Chain A
Amino acid sequence: MKKKMRQFFRPSNIILSLIMLLIALTMLVPILNLLAKSLSDPQAVSGMKGYQIWPSGLNLINYEIIFNNQVVWTALKNSVFITVVGTGVNILMTTSLAYALTRPNLVGKKAIMIFLIIMMIFEPGIIQEYFVVKDLHLLDSLWSMVLYRSVSVYNVILLMRFFQETPEVLLEAAKIDGAGHMRILFSIFLPLNKVPIMTVGMFYAVYRWNEFFHSSIFLSSRSNTVLQVFLRQFVVEGDTTALSALGSIDLSAISMSALRAATIIVTIVPILVLYPFILKYYTSGVLTGGVKE
């Protein structure tokens, strides 16, 4: 015990702990500062320092304004729709492709794998992607973003590694019962590979929630915008027209800075809520999958 204590108080350990604490604070304080500003009285926000992580004059008015805004509400709904439906499509397509490709003696497997790897390394240009979506008459439709990135080759390869390890013996009984591939996939493979499937599900869901570039190009109208694009217009481009379109609010009584903070917090919350799961599954995926995300 004594030795342990001495070790703990060695100057080098204290310095190291302080440095690490500082690094962690650099990541936390700016976010907590925004949280504090979003919960503060709009009049007090401009006087708040960057390190202040407690609200000045606790007030929920900023969130009230945001959630009473039609544009924010629509954007939030659209983001949730694209993330949920899109991730569903992702999981369905990725698991069926990985399943089929890991069946023994599949004719043409090698050709398909080469095709997929070419798809992974050569990305189409953004202009042509725009034209394809236009030709499909999907411009300004949420479905463009649901379908875009339906499958990621990297995730297919990751899943294949797990599916390959599923023992053939387990399938024999089902095959004798006359179960088809669909039933084998859903009743045997999915339950056995819950962790890897959740992992790719998390990869997709986080990607979809955070996507803003293609959404800003494919979804042009305000009724089809998503949260990240709205946030970008509001925070990065400083466009406040969506918010000031509100009739009932006295513009002099609100603080744009606090509203920005509140919008950012709303955008982060789903990630924070899911953070324990995201960490658990991402970590397992990264460690089996190698170096790339």
Chain B
Amino acid sequence: MLKRIKKDRVLYLMMLPALLYFVIFHVWPIIEMRLAFYDYRIVGDNIFVGWKHFKTLFSTPAFYKIIKNTLVISFMKIVLFFPFPVAFALALNELRSGPFRKVVQVTSYLPHFLSWVVIAGVWYEFLSPSSGLVMDLVELFGGERKNLLTDKNSILWVLFASSTWRSMGWDSIIYLSAILGINASLYEAARIDGAGRWATIRYIILPALAGPMITVLILNVGFVMSAGYDQILNFSNDAVLSRVDILDTYVYRIGLLQGQYSFATAANLFKGVIGTIMILLTHFTSKKLTGKGAW
């Protein structure tokens, strides 16, 4: 074995930079998360305090509010969003292939490649109470102009709409490719049996989508603890913070902005542990059910 290691020394050397990267930027900070069990000191050693910060965390009412927000937003983005890309793929498939379909496809994928900063910029204009397209339409139909971005009751729907806007097209790819993989003889057989458009969708296409649908749904549930902080950071403001503050934004605000490092790390560790368990659970469930896992 030593001989083999020696023979392959160049290979180990080639892996070294990447492995070093993981040790420095991943393992080291993960180990440093033990700060959750210490009191942070600017000068001198941190003081071990055991579960103190977790106890404080679990007795903070705001923490439960934040968990609730995280779960609500995740639910919207996982469950409510789920039918949209499926329906979009079905609809694309029903369009006759040609330039129109191509244009719809290419346009609908575009938002996926824009950063949330850019999307926020686009949506601020889109929803602008004074000059935005949405409010122009609302007014046209007799409604009243208002700012949805600072309205507690509408902000969650703004989050949902903007993330659907961003992902519906791109996420439909996986379903569209499953549809394109259906054997042509199945369509032929259905046609001979007199199946119409709806019957074909119901009995041929949807069964072919069952596999990817289950995989996507299960694997997305694995990310339930991260409700998409990069979106929320760009869509939150003081007026709606109580509705959109999630674990990640809470850790960022309490920790990096307010300097309560130990306490915020405890919240972060809590999220990390639950999140990891969820990812592992969903990975193995999906692997067992559909043969496809998260990696």
Residues of A participating in the B interface, judged by any CB pair closer than 8 Å: 8, 12-13, 16-17, 19-21, 23-24, 26-31, 33-34, 37, 46, 48-51, 92-94, 96-97, 99-101, 103, 105-108, 112, 115-117, 119-132, 136, 147-148, 150-151, 153-154, 156-157, 180-182, 185, 206, 209-213, 217, 228, 231-232, 235-236, 257, 260-261, 263-264, 267-268, 271, 275, 278-279, 283, 286-287, 290-292
Kindly identify, within residues 108 to 157 of chain B, every residue whose CB is under 8 Å from any CB belonging to chain A: 108-111, 113-118, 120-126, 128, 130-136
Q: Are A231 and B121 in contact (CB under 8 A)?
A: yes
Interface-centre pick from A129, A131, A185, A264 (highest chain B CB count, 10 A): A264
Residue B177 at the chain A interface, CB threshold 8 Å: yes
Q: Which segment of B52-60, B70-78, B99-107, B199-207 sits at the interface?
A: B99-107
Complex Cα distance, B104 from A78, in Å, reads 34
From residue A146, how far is it (CB to closest CB) to chain B in Å? Answer: 11
On chain A, the residues within 8 Å of B42 by CB distance are none
Report chain B residues within 8 Å CB of A27.
107-108, 110-111, 165, 169
Instruction: Please tell me which one of the listed residues A50, A101, A126, A260 contacts residue B126 in the complex, with CB atoms under 8 A apart.
Output: A50
Given A93-B17, A291-B212, check contact A28 B107 (CB 8 Å).
Answer: yes
Q: Which chain B residue lies CB-closest to A48?
A: B131
Q: Check if A119 sits within 8 Å of B26, measured CB to CB.
A: yes
Taking A105-B4, A147-B25, A213-B229 as contacts, is the C-beta distance between A128 and B117 under 8 angstroms?
Answer: no
A92, A116, A127, A271: which contacts B22 (Cβ < 8 A)? A116
Which residue of B4, B14, B21, B100 contacts A107 across the interface (Cβ within 8 Å)? B4
Across the interface, name the chain A residue whose C-beta is closest to B220. Answer: A291
A148/B295 in contact, CB under 8 A: no
7 contacts between A and B (CB under 8 A): A96-B14, A100-B14, A126-B251, A128-B33, A147-B21, A147-B25, A151-B21
Chain A residues with Cβ below 8 Å from B109 are 279
Query: Quick check: B15 and A128 within 8 Å, CB to CB?
Result: no
Q: Which residues of B are found within 8 Å of A287, using beta-carbon distances? A: 173-174, 177
Q: Is the Cβ of B173 less than 8 Å from the Cβ of A182?
A: no
Q: Are A283 and B173 in contact (CB under 8 A)?
A: yes
* B91 engages A112 (CB within 8 Å): no
In the complex, the answer to whether A292 meets B17 with C-beta atoms within 8 Å is no
A291 close to B216 (CB less than 8 A): yes
Nearest Cβ in chain A — how far from B84, in angstroms?
10
CB-CB under 8 A from A131, the residues of chain B are 29, 32
> Does B174 contact A151, Cβ atoms closer than 8 Å?
no
* B256 pairs with A217, CB closer than 8 A: yes
Q: How far is the CA of A19 from the CA of B230 in the complex (A)?
A: 30
CB distance from A172 to the nearest CB of B (A): 17
- Chain B contacts of A92 at CB under 8 A? 17
Q: In this complex, what residue of B is CB-closest to A95? A: B14
- B192 contacts which chain A residues (CB < 8 A)? none
Given A132-B29, A235-B124, answer yes or no on A151-B251 (Cβ-Cβ < 8 Å). Answer: no
In the complex, which residues 1-54 of chain B have their Cβ closer than 8 Å to any Cβ of chain A?
A: 1, 4-5, 8, 10-12, 14-15, 17-19, 21-22, 24-30, 32-33, 35
Q: Which residues of B are found within 8 Å of A124, using beta-carbon distances?
A: 25-26, 29-30, 32-33
Binds A, one of B61-69, B182-190, B268-276: B268-276
Task: Please pick, from A16, A50, A267, A290, the residue contacting B131 in the complex, using a CB distance under 8 A.
Answer: A50
Chain B residues contacting A33 (CB-CB under 8 Å) are: 125-126, 133
CB-contacts of B240-295 with A (<8 A): 248, 251-252, 255-256, 261, 264-265, 268-269, 272, 275-276, 279-280, 292, 294-295
Give every chain A residue within 8 A of B114 (Cβ-Cβ). 210, 268, 271
> Please, which residues of chain A bring their CB within 8 A of the CB of B295?
117, 120, 153-154, 157
**How far apart are the CA atoms of A223 and B197 in the complex, in Å?**
59
Contact of B121 among A115, A235, A286 (CB under 8 A): A235
Q: Within the assembled complex, what's the spacing in Å between the Cα atoms of A246 and B261? A: 38
Bound Cα distance from A156 to B120, whole angstroms: 31
Q: Quick one: closest B residue to A10, CB to CB?
A: B197
The verdict on A291 contacting B219 (CB below 8 Å), with A19-B91, A127-B255, A132-B28 known, is yes
A292 touches B219 (CB 8 A): yes
B179 at interface by CB-CB < 8 Å: no
Nearest-neighbour CB distance to chain A for B147, whole angstroms, equals: 14
Chain B residue contacts of A154, Cβ below 8 A: 295
A271 cross-chain contacts in B, Cβ below 8 A: 113-114
- Do A93 and B29 have beta carbons less than 8 Å apart? no
Given known A-B contacts A50-B134, A94-B18, A125 and B29 have beta carbons under 8 A apart:
yes
Residues of A with C-beta under 8 A to B233? 213
| Complex CA–CA separation, A87 to B131 (angstroms) | 39
Instruction: Pick the residue among B15, B212, B272 that contacts A122 (CB under 8 A).
Output: B272
Pairwise interchain contact A107-B8, C-beta atoms closer than 8 A:
yes
